[in-house]
Amino acid sequence: MWFRNLQMFHLQQPFNLTPEELHHSLEPQVAKECGSQEPFSYGWEMPLGRQGAQLTHAANGCIMICARREEKILPASVVRERLAEKVEEIEEAEARKVRRREKEELKDILMQQLLPQAFTKSALTYAYIDPKGGWLIVDSSSPSKAEELLNLLRDSLGSLRVKPLTAAQSPASVMTAWLSDKGPQGGFIIGDECELRDPMEEGGIIRCRRQDLMGDEIEPHLKAGKQVVRLALEWDERVSFVLSEDLSIKRLGFMDIIQEEAAEVSAEDDSARFDADFAIMSLELGRFIPRLLEQFGGLEKE
């Protein structure tokens, strides 16, 4: 279980529930299949899937949770085709033009008729709570999907005080300074990918890949006032990632040292492998996140 993207949140109050207590809080909203007339369903899934016994999985003092979204697939082309046929049938039978509002009503009726016949697809979103570190980490590249999971968790717990990770210093300003100067400290190394953006409204955007970011080609853009809003980095030869100005992380990769550590742990089955990987990953991210925040002056003060 290796996360590929990080949407990071700071717990605003201590999280004191045990994994068993959290499991019982999640049970009323366990994931279910879509009903015949439901466009989607959303609820909690066991992180270990069929091999699991609870809606939580604990390792290294952290608690993994997982949400499953199931939704019906109604191709827009099918709806348009059926709607066009219905509209043509009404216009010929009643010798009148079908107006926009009536078309929308017909479309709603058709979708309700087609829903029971639609295929379904499902997607899992994993997250874990680190009570000691004070983090909640969601494996998603989409802020909206992370917020969807948080809303479900709030509903299950009654309340949940968290806020997106916010640093004391502007990440865009700090990353821009790195390319203008000697780069970051603390074991961080600049990679070969970045995105530069003019802070002016509708300003220009420059995206670079496989580029020496400390070279002469980037300097004119920085002097013109563009800021770094995405930057590829490595940390301590252990983690590679692309950092965005909102402190979200994409394309997270655990490098050879970590993979070798994981390979050294013997695992008898998939459950044991999941447990070992989660323990190693959460321990590594527990070291990495504070070091990353230090580069931006730590957490923003309340």
Distance (Å) of CA 247 to CA 5, 66, 173, 241, 265:
11, 22, 13, 11, 31
Q: What's the DSSP call for residue 269?
A: S
pLDDT for residue 167: 95
Write out pLDDT tens, residues 152-205.
999 999 999 999 999 999 999 999 999 988 789 999 999 999 999 988 777 789
Q: What's the DSSP call for residue 6?
A: B
Collect all residues with Cβ–Cβ distance below 8 Å to 274 and sequence separation of at least 6.
1, 47, 48, 57
Write out pLDDT tens, residues 109-161.
887 877 777 778 899 999 999 999 999 999 999 999 999 999 999 999 999 99
Residue 242, sorted as left (phi over 0), alpha (psi -120 to 50) or beta, turns out to be beta
Contact status, residue 262 vs residue 45, Cβ threshold 8 Å: no
Contact status, residue 15 vs residue 161, Cβ threshold 8 Å: no
Write out pLDDT tens, residues 269-283.
888 899 999 999 999
81 pLDDT band, cuts 50/70/90, is confident
Which runs of consecutive H residues, i.e. helices, occur in 226-267? 256-264
Contact status, residue 8 vs residue 248, Cβ threshold 8 Å: yes
Contact status, residue 268 vs residue 45, Cβ threshold 8 Å: no
pLDDT for residue 301: 83
Collect all residues with Cβ–Cβ distance below 8 Å to 167 and sequence separation of at least 6.
247, 293, 296, 297, 298, 299, 300
Closest-CA residue to 281 (of 130, 108, 111):
130
- Does the predicted TM-score (pTM) go above 0.95? no
Write out pLDDT tens, residues 246-299.
999 999 999 999 999 999 988 888 888 999 999 999 999 999 999 999 999 999
Collect all residues with Cβ–Cβ distance below 8 Å to 46 and sequence separation of at least 6.
52, 53, 54, 55, 57, 66
Is pLDDT above 90 for 212?
A: no
83 pLDDT band, cuts 50/70/90, is confident
Collect all residues with Cβ–Cβ distance below 8 Å to 147 and sequence separation of at least 6.
none
Q: What's the DSSP call for residue 132?
A: T
Which runs of consecutive H residues, i.e. helices, occur in 97-243? 100-114, 143-157, 171-180, 219-223
